[in-house]
Amino acid sequence: MTRKLVTLMMIRLYKTTDLQHGKLIKDIASGDLGILTTRFNIMRDWGEESAIWAWDIYWTGPSTDEENRVVPFIEKGILGLLNGGTWLLIEE
């Protein structure tokens, strides 16, 4: 008889409210660090459209240069990268 051991781990799922100005993000693959600087609605000029929120992220680290220092990311994409384990949100 074969037995399987199943381990359940509590995984933190990040929400929009976890993203705040000044929060630090770490890209696990590159080691780069990014700071959330500005949150903005990319649909603000289209009055009848639903809001799509994005953040400017200021990056520093081994794979960052002057061309990719400040990069906008859609908020849902940031949450996907955090919840997928590709990025870490550095808590105080």
Q: What is the pTM of this model?
A: 0.82
Per-residue pLDDT band at 40 (split at 50, 70, 90): very high
Distances (CA, A) of 38 to 6, 55, 91: 42, 5, 19
- Whether pLDDT at 9 is above 80: no
Nearest to 25 by CA among 64, 58, 69: 58
Largest Cα separation within the chain, whole Å, is 64
Mean pLDDT over residues 41-69, rounded? 92
- What's phi and psi for 29, nearest 5 deg? -70, -45
